[in-house]
Every structure is written in structure tokens, then in C-alpha cells.
């Protein structure tokens, strides 16, 4: 398993801690930036990570910013990315199992133990291959073909 990880300036310190945690667990990762706490545009780093997921450089992605919201919005604009903004381990697990999320996003403001729990739950989970979940995922993937509301 290889994980992509990216952050903006507000998520940089948490990203560095999560990278150490992944290394300690023997999980390979690719860091898509940023590399400091200097003010940057989160859009650039979210897109870079999403490209890595789509190009199969990494299996899944983790985005970290001030709230997790901005990066999740960007990621979900990329065709083929299913990003869930998560706040706890249960949401991370369900995002992968029920929604087949290939990217998660969370706030840098979590305590480190919570962030580690989120990462563990996400990486330990797998997409459930049940008809009801697959049906819903297919609808999401084909949403542009649906009538406009």
C-alpha cells in the first residue's frame, strides 16, 4: 500500500506528524506538499495529490488543511476522485466502506491521537462490495448524465 499525503500551510505540521506515523507503521507514502508553514493555495496541493491517485502513483490519498473542507471541495471537482471530509475514525471507516472514498480530508486542528485514529480506520477499511453501495456509487459516478435539478 502506498498513500499520498498533502496539506496546505495550516496542515503542514500535522502532515509531518502523520508522515512519521506512517513510516513507523511501515506504510510507504508520497508527499505532494506543501513543505512549510508559508501561506499557499491549498488548491494546488489537493490537485497534485488527486493526480497521483488517478495516475496510480498512490493507492489512496490523505488531505489536511485548516478545516478539511476546502481540500475536499477541490478533490471532489476531479473526475474519478471520491473524497470524504471526515472528523473521526468511524466516518473515515464508513467513507471507505460505504462510499468507496479514494481520498479523505480532515482538519489540522484535531489532536494527534484523533488524526492517527482517522488514518488507521481509513487505511484498515476496504470498500464493501454490496449491491446497495455499488448502485449508489454508480449513480454518483454518472451524475452528469442525470437530469439537472
The set of catalytic residues is 65, 98
In degrees and rounded to multiples of 5, residue 36 shows phi and psi of: -165, 180
- Phi and psi for 25 in degrees, rounded to 5? -85, 0
Question: Given strand 83-85, what is the order of strands in its sheet?
Answer: 28-31, 2-7, 60-65, 103-107, 83-85
d(CA 103, CA 65): 14
Three cell numbers written together for 31: 508527499
C-alpha cell at 144: 452528469
Amino acid at each position: 500500500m502506498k498513500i499520498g499525503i498533502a496539506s496546505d500551510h495550516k496542515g503542514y505540521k500535522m502532515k509531518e506528524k502523520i508522515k512519521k506515523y506512517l513510516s513507523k507503521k511501515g506504510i510507504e507514502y508520497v508527499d505532494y506538499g506543501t513543505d512549510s508553514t508559508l501561506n499557499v493555495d491549498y488548491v494546488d496541493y489537493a490537485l497534485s495529490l488527486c493526480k497521483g491517485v488517478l495516475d496510480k502513483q498512490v493507492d489512496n490519498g490523505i488531505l489536511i488543511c485548516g478545516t478539511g473542507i476546502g481540500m475536499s471541495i477541490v478533490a471532489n471537482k476531479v473526475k474519478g476522485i471520491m473524497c470524504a471530509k471526515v472528523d473521526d475514525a468511524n466516518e473515515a471507516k464508513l467513507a471507505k466502506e460505504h462510499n468507496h472514498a479514494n481520498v479523505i480530508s480532515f482538519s489540522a486542528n484535531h489532536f494527534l491521537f484523533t488524526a492517527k485514529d482517522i488514518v488507521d480506520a481509513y487505511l484498515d477499511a476496504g470498500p464493501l462490495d454490496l449491491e446497495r453501495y455499488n448502485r449508489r456509487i454508480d449513480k454518483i459516478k454518472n451524475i452528469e448524465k442525470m437530469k439537472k435539478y
